[in-house]
Amino acid sequence: MTIAKKSSVVLVAAALTLTGCGSSGGSGEGGDGSASGPVFLLLPNTQTTRFEERDAPLFQQFMEQYSPGTEVIVRNAEGDPDKQQDQVNDAITQGASAIVLVSADANLASGSLALAEQAQVPVVLYDHDAKDGTAAAQVVFDSREVGKEQGDRAAELISAMPDGVVKVARIKGNPGEYGTEQYQLGQDEALQPLIDSGRVEVVCDQNITNWDPVEGQSFMEDCLTSNDNDIDLVVSMNDGLAGAAIAALTTQNLQGVVPVTGGQDANVEALQYIIQGYQDNTVFKDLSQEADAAAQIVAALVAGDEVPADLINGTVDNGAMEVPAAFLSVENVTIDNIQDVVDADTWTWDEICQGIESTDLCAANL
């Protein structure tokens, strides 16, 4: 899996032939999408809570803005790639004009992509990649940059620790997934030199299937047991797994003692952990930007137009093609700049501080 970003726009002709007027994808008569079939937003799982709680309603909101006559139907695969392929088939049967796919397993998505291509229903990949098939576009935060932010922050924390070997536990995302691979590459820009020099010893390292916090907590509990609780730092890949690590640390009364870094998504629970000193940081991805870009692309496809060229700033090689990609920027958030998340209208201080009103930061902002 490779990624390319560029300043000039180069679109893949094969992808742009896919529009919302396929034989099984609805009639697609009007520029406003009013005569087109529904758009299906297919989510991967329920463990990563942002997709149900935030991405889906945001995407529906922006679709109403850009294509007000188009119905959006949301389905969740609940971590099952076979179920997701059935959902793709059902979407085609119901005359979908486009499918927005957050793949349940990127390595097993080729069947879904093939079904959609055969039915001439365009697929827009959202956040997750999908390998070995045709897609009209992909909308994704710059995953390598996410990992780099995580690794740089971990390196900062390590540099502030006393001399000697720093024992690190790494809890990583779904194996084989584009994001997971890119997060590790980004993290390793800062961490691998520290490992090679002997400053860091990775004592536990595991990918967690489907980003499942239950599995993540079990891994961290085993890691603590096998190391007699002698761990100096936990490096995670998202807020759900960071929370799983905190839960495991809490069973040993080590929450807030062993730093947990490397979150992402700026979930409200993660922000609460940061305020309480249990989690060090989260990489903030403004999900409204992602949903906005995806809705603009889908609205164009539903109307029979090409992917908007001004949204595309790179490509993702999914093994079958160079998928035109809209890469979005990210921001590292610690206790010092949570206000940026509030300013982006992601959460309010009332929501962030529910149940922790007495903390210093909440008391200052409520």
Q: What is the DSSP string of 134-152?
A: --SEEEEE-HHHHHHHHHH
Neighbours of 209 (CB within 10 A): 15
Specify burial of residue 13 (Cβ count, 10 A radius: 0-12, 13-18, 19+): exposed
Give CATH superfamily name and number for 2-141+286-328: Response regulator (3.40.50.2300)
Question: By the 8 A CB rule, do 214 and 147 touch?
Answer: no
In this prediction, residue 36 carries a pLDDT of: 79
**Boundaries of CATH 3.40.50.2300 in the chain?**
2-141+286-328, 143-284+331-365
CATH T-level fold of 143-284+331-365: Rossmann fold (3.40.50)
**Residue range 98-112: mean pLDDT, rounded:** 95
At 48, the pLDDT band (50, 70, 90 cuts) reads confident
Residue 271 has pLDDT above 80, yes or no: yes
Which range in 3-12, 44-53, 160-169 is most confidently predicted, on average pLDDT?
160-169
Dihedral (CA of 156, 160, 166, 169) sign: negative
Answer yes or no: is pLDDT of 338 > 90.
Answer: yes
Q: Measured between alpha carbons, how far is 350 from 122 in angstroms, rounded to an integer?
A: 40
What percentage of the chain reaches a pLDDT higher than 70? 90
Classify the phi-psi angles of 246: left when phi > 0, otherwise alpha if psi is within -120 to 50, otherwise beta: alpha
pTM reported for the whole predicted model: 0.78
End-to-end alpha-carbon separation of the chain, Å? 45
Is 90 a residue whose pLDDT tops 90?
yes
Percentage of the chain exceeding pLDDT 90: 83
Q: Give the helix ranges, DSSP H, for 24-126.
A: 50, 56-66, 81-93, 110-118
287-298 confidence digits (pLDDT tens): 999 999 999 999
- Could you tell me the two tokens for 216? 């993540």
Q: pLDDT band for position 25 (50/70/90)?
A: very low
Rounded to whole angstroms, the Cα distance separating 73 from 82 reads 19
